[in-house]
Amino acid sequence: MAKRIVIDPVTRIEGHLRVEVEVKNGMVVDAWTKGTMFRGLEQIIQGKDPRDAVYITERICGVCMASHGWTSAMAVENAHGAVLPTVARLIRNLLVGALWLHDHPLHFYHLSVLDYLDVLAIKDYQGKDQNLLSVKDKIMKLVEMGDTAPLTPRYEPDDYSVRDPEIVATALSHYFQALKIQAKAKKLSAILGGKQPHQSSIIVGGVTGYPNDEQLEQFEQLLEEIVDFIKNIYVPDVVYFATGPLLPLAKSGLGKGPGNYLAYGAFPMNDSGKKKLFPGGFIQSGQTKIQEIDVAKITEDVTSSWYKESPIANPWDSFTEVDLNKNGAYTFVKSPRYNGLSSEVGPMSRMLVAEHKPFLQFIKEYSIRPGAVARHLARAQETILVADAMFKWLEELKGLLEQRKYLTDGKVYIHDSQHWDPPQSGRGAGLNEAPRGALGHWVEIEDHKVKNYQMVVPTTWNVSPRDNKGIPGPIEQALIGMPVDPNNPVNLVRVIRSFDPCLACAVHVISSEGDRMIQI
C-alpha cells in the first residue's frame, strides 16, 4: 500500500510550500506541490501608473526584488519601444548582478548544504585549527541550550551525509563566513540601488543616477572581497561535494525534472540587448536543438489552481481571480507552459541553453546527470560568470564616467515625454532572468494606466501543478520516481531545495480583507 508523506511547510526555502508524495516500495509514485498562500500583487497594480509597477512588484519578495524592478521596467519600456542609455544598462547589470552574488552562495550554505551534513559530528573534531574549534564551541553551546534548529534539519543524516568531523567543521565555518558575505553583497547592490532590500534607483527609462568616485571605489573593494569568497570557497565547496560524497547521487540524476529547459536570457552586453551574458532559448526533452524563444508560446493554465476557470492564454490575456471552491484545484500557483510543455527554469536550464562548455565538460567528465546535484553545480558555475562580468561592466562604467561623456551627450534615463510619460495604450513584455530562473512581466496599458499586469516568475514554472492534460509541474516530475526512505524523507527536501523555490514570488499578499493571509 502506498504511504503518503506530507511536508508542510518545506523549511529553508522562501515562502510557504506544502509537498505531498505517495511512496510505494521505497519509490515516490506521485507528487503534488502546493502553494498555500494567496498574495495578489497583480491586482494591486491594476489602475496604477505603469511606472509605479517597478516599486510595487519589487515588494513581491525580499530576495530577488531588483530582478522584479528591472523586469517591470523592461515591460513598460517594451510598450514604449525605448532603448536605454549605456550607463543605465551597466548600472542595472551591476546592481542586479550583486543580487545574484548574494543569492547563490546563500542558497548553498544557508538553505541546502545542511541536507548533506551530519552537523553534530562536529563534536568529534579534535584538530587544532582555532577557527574550527571556535565553530565547534559555537555549535556545542547551541546543543547545551537545546537550540540547534537553525543548523540541524528536521530529517536525520543518511548514507550520503558527510560525517567526517573536519569536513563538517569546515563546511560550518564557511556557513558562518557566508553570512558575512551576504551582508557585504547587500551593501554592494545598495551602493547603486539607493537601499536594500527594495532598491529605488531603477526607473522606467533607465536609472536615477550614477555613482561618484568614492562609491565606485567602495563597490570595487566589496566586489573583490565577495568574488574572492565565491571563487576560493563557495565554488570549490560545491565541486567538492558534487564530485566527492554526493557523486553517487549526482550520477544517478536524482531529482531530474521534465527534461524541457527554458531560459529567457539576461544581462545585456550591448545597448540593443541582442547579446546577453546568458542567452535565451528552449530545449525540448529528447532534442538537442536550442529553439529561439517565442513569447507567443508562453501560456498560463489554471486547471489545478484556485483561480477562476479561464482559457489557456498568453499572460497578456490572462487574469488572476481567486476561486477557492474549484474542483480539483490544490494550489495558488498557476501552470505556465512553453509550447504546452512543463518546463524547468533556473541555473541548470541557463547553462544547458548557453551550451556552456566548462559546465558540459565537467558533468561529462564525472558522468553527472541532470538532477539535484547538477543544479548546485550549474548555480556555482554561473556565479563565476556573473562575477567575472561584474568586473567588466564596472570597468566599462568607469571608462564612461571618466570621459564625463554622460554629462554632455548622455543621460542615465530617457526623459523626453515620448518615452517618459506612460503611453496612452499599448502592451509590453519584459523577459528576463532572476536568480531562480526565467522571469516575465506582462503589462497592458489603457488610458495611461495599467489595465492588466501579469507576472510569471521562476518558481511559478518550477512549482507549477498539473495542467489541463494532467502533466505535473517540474518539481512534481522531479519527485516522481525517486527513491525515498518513508521514515526519513531527506531525499525529498534535497531535490526540492535544489530548485531554490521562492513561494512568495510564485503566488504573488495580502487578502483584500486587509492584513490577514489566506491559509488553506
How do the residues of the chain divide into helix, strand and coil, expressed in percent and rounded to 5? Answer: 45, 20, 35
- The DSSP result for 507-518, as a single string, is T----TTSSPPP
Beta carbon nearer to ligand NFE, 63 or 98: 63
Q: Which listed residue (105, 258, 279, 435) binds ligand NFE by CB under 6 A? A: 435
x/- binding map, residues 460-499, to ligand NFE, per CB under 6 A? ----------------------------------------
Does position 439 bind ligand NFE by CB under 6 A? yes
Instruction: Please say which residue, 257 or 489, places its beta carbon nearer to ligand NFE.
Output: 257
The residue type found at 119 is V
Backbone φ and ψ for 427, nearest 5 degrees, come out as -130, 145
**The binder of ligand NFE chosen from 64, 74, 250, 443 (CB under 6 A):** 64
The vertex-268 CA angle with 70 and 498, nearest 5°, equals: 70
Considering the rule CB under 6 A, would residue 14 count as an interface residue with ligand NFE? yes
DSSP-assigned letters across all residues of 459-518: HHHHT----TT-PPPHHHHHHTT-B--TTS-HHHHHHHHHT--BHHHHT----TTSSPPP
Per CB under 5 A, contacts with Mg ion among 428-487 are 455
Residue 63 in grid coordinates: 530576495
Q: Least distance to ligand NFE from the beta carbon of 395, Å?
A: 27
Write down the H helix ranges in 46-150: 53-58, 65-80, 86-106, 130-145
Residues 6+ apart with CB under 8 A from 54: 69, 72, 73, 76, 202, 203, 204
Total chain residues near ligand NFE (CB under 6 A): 16
Contact region with ligand NFE (CB under 6 A), list: 250-258, 371-379, 380-388, 455-463: 455-463
Q: Binder to ligand NFE among 54, 56, 63, 394 (CB under 6 A)?
A: 63
**Nearer to Mg ion among residue 374 and residue 455 (C-beta):** 455
Contact window for ligand NFE (CB under 6 A) among 18-26, 146-154, 252-260, 428-436: 428-436
Out of ligand NFE, Mg ion, none, which partner does residue 434 contact, by CB within 5 to 8 A per kind? Answer: ligand NFE
Is residue 298 a contact residue for Mg ion (CB under 5 A)?
no
Q: Where are the beta strands (DSSP E) in 160-312?
A: 202-203, 206-207, 261-263, 266-268, 276-278, 281-283, 290-291, 298-301
Closer residue to ligand NFE, CB minimum distance, 242 or 505: 505
Nearer to ligand NFE, 17 or 94 (CB): 17
User: Where do contacts with ligand NFE occur on this chain (CB under 6 A)?
Assistant: 14, 61, 63-64, 67-68, 434-436, 439, 457-459, 502, 504-505
